[in-house]
Amino acid sequence: MEKYIGRVLISREDLGKRVAELGAEITRDYAGKKLLILGILKGAVPFMADLIREIKLPLAYDFMILSSYGDSTQSSGVVRILRDLESSVEDVHILIAEDIIDTGLTLKYLRENLRARNPLSVKVITLLDKAARRKADITPDYNGFSIPDEFVVGYGLDFNEKYRNLPYIGVLKQEAHEEEGP
C-alpha cells in the first residue's frame, strides 16, 4: 500500500499535536454551551475520534454521510445526503467535523441545510484546508493544516476506499490513480 505514497505530508506526531491544540481551543470556546460535534462519514472518523478525546467538555456527537465524489478524485459538485442526523439540532451549537475542505461545495450545502434546522450556531472544524481549489465561499472556523493542491490520503482520507488506515497524511502518487492499486 505504501508504494503508492509519494511522500508524507503530515506526520502522525504532527497530527496528534495539532488535534490536541484544536481540542483545547474548542474546550475554551464552547465552555458552558450545549455542543454537538457532527462528523462527516467516513473520512472524518479518525480525526473526530481523536478530537473529541481532547475536548474537555460534555458533548454529544452524531454523523452524516454526504457524497459528492463517487469513485473520482474530483468533487462532482452534486451533493447527496446518504445518512442524516438521528436527532433535532434545535437549540444546540453544531461543530461540523470535516476531514478536508476542497472545493467547499459539499460543506456550503451542508451548512445551509443545517442552519435551516434552527441550531444556535453552525461552525466548521477541518483537519485539512485545500483553499487553492475552493469554489464556494467557505472558511473553516478551526483549521488543522492548510495544504497544497495535491491529492492526499491517510488518517481517514481515501482513494477508492483505500488508504484510510494510514496513520499520517500522505501524497498519493499518480500511478495509484492510473492503476487499480493494492
Look at residue 175 and tell me whether its pLDDT is greater than 90: no
Domains of the chain: 12-147 (3.40.50.2020)
What does the alpha-carbon distance between residue 138 and residue 101 come to, in Å, rounded to a whole number? 9
What are the pLDDT digits (tens) for 139-163?
A: 999 999 999 999 999 999 999 999 9
CA distances for 108 relative to 32, 38, 52, 168, angstroms: 27, 15, 23, 27
141 is catalytic: no
pLDDT tens per residue across span 12-70: 999 999 999 999 999 999 999 999 999 999 999 999 999 999 999 999 999 999 877 55
Question: Could you give the angle at the alpha carbon of 41 between the alpha carbons of 116 and 131, nearest 5°?
Answer: 75
Is the dihedral angle over the CA atoms 119, 121, 122, 124 positive or is it negative?
Answer: negative
Q: Which helix (H) or strand (E) holds 161?
A: none
Which runs of E-coded beta strand occur in the chain? 5-10, 35-41, 60-67, 80-83, 93-101, 121-129, 142-146, 152-153, 169-172
**Identified catalytic residue from 50, 99, 102, 129:** 102
Count the residues in the chain: 182
More confident residue, 101 or 68: 101
A 10 A CB-CB count for 108 gives: 17
